[in-house]
């Protein structure tokens, strides 16, 4: 084959891949932190997008008497502003995916070629408040995902499910964490099996149940799915959410839905000591919200095969909680803030120090070019925290939920 013929063949392959790429994407949970950024990103990239959301996340804020640091407009107002700015429409289906009739009707109306599933209760502390919140979390998450699987099997067997999992499914084993599967040799025999799970909350347990249910549905019904085991996400801005204040994303800092990094940045902005749980030796995977949306697109553009349940570990860096506190302290000091670090009794039941080495090559091999947590990004988070510090409720900063009964 000549060089010209080779180039022509590659171009034909690329065009075929583009033709096969799903164009209609349903973002379940598209009013939430990851879902909102993803819906706008995909819309801006030329996908036809619909959001399906019960808006219950806003209800939980009211229940807990907390607010995101950044002011969030009603979903209808957000979508109208997006259309005004870009000329692109995003369809909206307001309802609960635990209601199968609503889910099925919405899917049949929109006719998705891919489903991005963020529509779950995502807080470990929320799931540990009491029995009611544990039951709510597992019923909401497991039943909703089962409904999606049945709707796909019934009417959309070729649709590709991109499901948000969590690195927390794995726990902190004393061996390397592989991407979803591990090769086992036992008594002279060998097999490749799902990686053992050691979840640390009733929330993380719900994600494990999801993974098993999706894997089973792919095997018996020929569905195709990608599980994105995501680390802790940080950042407010993507190209799209930064277009207008009405499009701004959430920045949760409270003891139930807030992340440690968010909490540290808000504490630094209001001259409150950074609150490290225990000794701060707990290590986790982290990634920028800009990488979250890109990873989702990569998964959509490179769909799993029929009967295939893929697992991608979706993070770019690993830090201990003490590492994060030290980084925020340095960045805050450089900005003229007085930043101290305090250690609190850990309300969670987890190892203070542990081995943690997770693999994350699949998404990199498919083209992810990561953003890394840097001084400039910390400056951006600290600037957001300073801009909106008048909205901080200091009563919500310290932990209120204990894993111990």
Q: Which residue ranges make up each domain of the chain?
A: 20-251+288-316+357-370
- Residue 263's contacts (CB-CB under 8 Å, 6 or more residues apart) are 253, 255, 274, 275, 397
CA proximity to 279, closest of 317, 326, 340, 321: 321
- Say yes or no to pLDDT of 71 above 50: yes
The phi, psi pair for 404, rounded to 5°, reads -90, 135
Query: Cβ of 292: how many Cβ atoms within 10 Å?
Result: 26
User: Which one from 41, 47, 195, 203 is the annotated catalytic residue?
Assistant: 203
- Say yes or no to pLDDT of 8 above 80: no
Question: What is the C-alpha to C-alpha distance for residues 275 and 322, in angstroms, rounded to an integer?
Answer: 10
Parallel, antiparallel, or unpaired for β 91-94 and 114-117? unpaired
pLDDT band (50, 70, 90) for residue 15: very low
Given a contact cutoff of 8 angstroms between Cβ atoms, the answer to whether 252 and 262 are in contact is yes
Give the per-residue pLDDT at 16.
41
Given a contact cutoff of 8 angstroms between Cβ atoms, the answer to whether 228 and 163 are in contact is yes
Q: What is the pLDDT of residues 394-405, one digit of tens each?
A: 999 999 999 998
User: Which one from 166, 259, 283, 316 is the annotated catalytic residue?
Assistant: 166
Listed range (230-239, 278-287, 316-325, 374-383) with the worst mean pLDDT = 374-383
Task: Give the position of tokens 């490290």.
Answer: 276
Give the per-residue pLDDT at 405.
81
- Say yes or no to pLDDT of 6 above 70: no
What stretches of 93-179 show up as alpha helix (H) in DSSP?
100-110, 124-127, 131-138, 144-155
Known catalytic residue at 100: no
Q: What is the pLDDT of residues 227-243, one digit of tens each?
A: 999 999 999 999 999 99
Q: What is the pLDDT of residues 193-205, one digit of tens each?
A: 999 999 999 999 9
Known catalytic residue at 150: no
CA proximity to 319, closest of 281, 350, 283: 283
Given a contact cutoff of 8 angstroms between Cβ atoms, the answer to whether 203 and 127 are in contact is yes
Taking all residues of the chain, what is their mean pLDDT, rounded to a whole number? 95
pLDDT band (50, 70, 90) for residue 20: low
Decide: helix, strand or coil at residue 285. strand
User: Which one from 137, 170, 207, 253 is the annotated catalytic residue?
Assistant: 207
Give the per-residue pLDDT at 377.
85
Give the per-residue pLDDT at 375.
83
Give the per-residue pLDDT at 376.
78
Q: What is the pLDDT of residues 286-310, one digit of tens each?
A: 999 999 999 999 999 999 999 999 9
Known catalytic residue at 166: yes
Beta bridge partners of 117: 28, 163
pLDDT band (50, 70, 90) for residue 14: very low
Given a contact cutoff of 8 angstroms between Cβ atoms, the answer to whether 287 and 257 are in contact is no
The pair of three-digit structure tokens given for residue 30, joined into one six-digit string: 């598209």
Which contiguous run of DSSP H or E holds residue 262? helix 260-269
pLDDT band (50, 70, 90) for residue 348: very high
Q: What is the pLDDT of residues 153-168, one digit of tens each?
A: 999 999 999 999 999 9
Q: What is the pLDDT of residues 165-223, one digit of tens each?
A: 999 999 999 999 999 999 999 999 999 999 999 999 999 999 999 999 999 999 999 99
Residue 377 buriedness (CB in 10 A; 0-12 / 13-18 / 19+): middle
Given a contact cutoff of 8 angstroms between Cβ atoms, the answer to whether 290 and 238 are in contact is yes
Handedness of CA 239, 242, 244, 246 (dihedral sign): positive
Question: What is the C-alpha to C-alpha distance for residues 102 and 177, in angstroms, rounded to an integer?
Answer: 38
Q: Check residue 400 and give left, alpha or beta (phi > 0: left; psi -120 to 50: alpha).
A: alpha
- Say yes or no to pLDDT of 13 above 50: no
Average pLDDT over residues 275-294: 97
Question: Does domain 20-251+288-316+357-370 sit in CATH 3.90.78.10?
Answer: no
Given a contact cutoff of 8 angstroms between Cβ atoms, the answer to whether 29 and 356 are in contact is no
Question: What is the C-alpha to C-alpha distance for residues 215 and 165, in angstroms, rounded to an integer?
Answer: 13
pTM, entire model: 0.94
pLDDT band (50, 70, 90) for residue 93: very high
346: which DSSP letter? -
Query: Cβ of 299: how many Cβ atoms within 10 Å?
Result: 26
Task: Give the position of tokens 């000591």.
Answer: 273
Question: What is the C-alpha to C-alpha distance for residues 294 and 284, in angstroms, rounded to an integer?
Answer: 20
The pair of three-digit structure tokens given for residue 57, joined into one six-digit string: 């996340």
Describe the crossing of helices 100-110 and 144-155 by its angle, rounded to 10 degrees: 50
Average pLDDT over residues 350-358: 96
Q: What is the DSSP string of 292-324?
A: HHHHHHHHHHSPPPTT-EEEEEE-SEEEEHHHH
Q: What is the pLDDT of residues 113-155, one digit of tens each?
A: 999 999 999 999 999 999 999 999 999 999 999 999 999 999 9
The pair of three-digit structure tokens given for residue 352, joined into one six-digit string: 């203070």
Q: Of 21-30, 108-117, 375-384, which has the strongest mean pLDDT?
A: 108-117
């Amino acid at each position: 084959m000549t060089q010209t013929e080779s180039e022509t063949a590659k171009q034909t392959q690329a065009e075929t891949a583009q033709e096969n790429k799903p164009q209609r994407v349903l973002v379940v949970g598209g009013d939430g932190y990851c879902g909102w950024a993803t819906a706008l990103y995909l819309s801006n990239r030329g996908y036809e997008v619909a959001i399906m959301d019960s808006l219950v996340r806003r209800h939980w804020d009211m229940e807990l008497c907390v607010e995101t640091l950044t002011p969030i407009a009603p979903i209808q107002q957000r979508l109208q502003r997006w259309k005004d700015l870009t000329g692109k429409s995003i369809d909206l289906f307001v309802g609960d995916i635990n209601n199968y009739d609503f889910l099925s009707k919405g899917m049949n109306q929109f006719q998705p070629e891919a489903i991005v599933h963020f529509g779950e209760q995502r807080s470990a502390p929320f799931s540990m408040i009491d029995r009611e919140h544990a039951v709510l979390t597992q019923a909401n998450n497991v039943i909703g995902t089962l409904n999606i699987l049945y709707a796909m099997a019934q009417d959309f067997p070729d649709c590709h499910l991109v499901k948000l999992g969590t690195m927390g499914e794995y726990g902190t084993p004393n061996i390397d964490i592989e991407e979803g599967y591990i090769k086992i040799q036992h008594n002279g025999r060998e097999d490749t099996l799902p990686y053992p799970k050691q979840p640390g909350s009733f929330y993380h347990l719900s994600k494990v149940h999801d993974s098993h249910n999706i894997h089973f549905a792919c095997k018996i019904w020929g569905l195709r799915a990608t599980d994105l085991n995501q680390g802790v996400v940080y950042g407010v801005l993507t190209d799209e959410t930064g277009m207008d204040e009405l499009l701004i994303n959430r920045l949760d800092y409270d003891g139930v839905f807030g992340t440690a990094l968010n909490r540290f940045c808000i504490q630094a902005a209001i001259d409150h000591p950074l609150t490290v749980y225990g000794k701060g030796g707990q290590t986790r995977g982290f990634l920028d919200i800009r990488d979250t949306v890109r990873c989702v697109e990569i998964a959509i553009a490179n769909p799993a095969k029929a009967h295939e349940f893929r697992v991608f570990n979706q993070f770019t860096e690993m830090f201990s909680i003490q590492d994060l506190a030290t980084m925020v302290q340095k960045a805050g000091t450089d900005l003229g803030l007085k930043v101290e670090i305090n250690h609190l009794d850990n309300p969670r039941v987890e190892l203070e120090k542990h081995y943690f080495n997770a693999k994350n090559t699949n998404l990199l091999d498919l083209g992810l070019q990561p953003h890394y947590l840097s001084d400039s990004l910390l400056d951006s988070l600290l600037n957001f925290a300073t801009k909106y510090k008048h909205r901080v409720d200091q009563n919500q900063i310290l932990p209120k939920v204990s894993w111990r009964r």
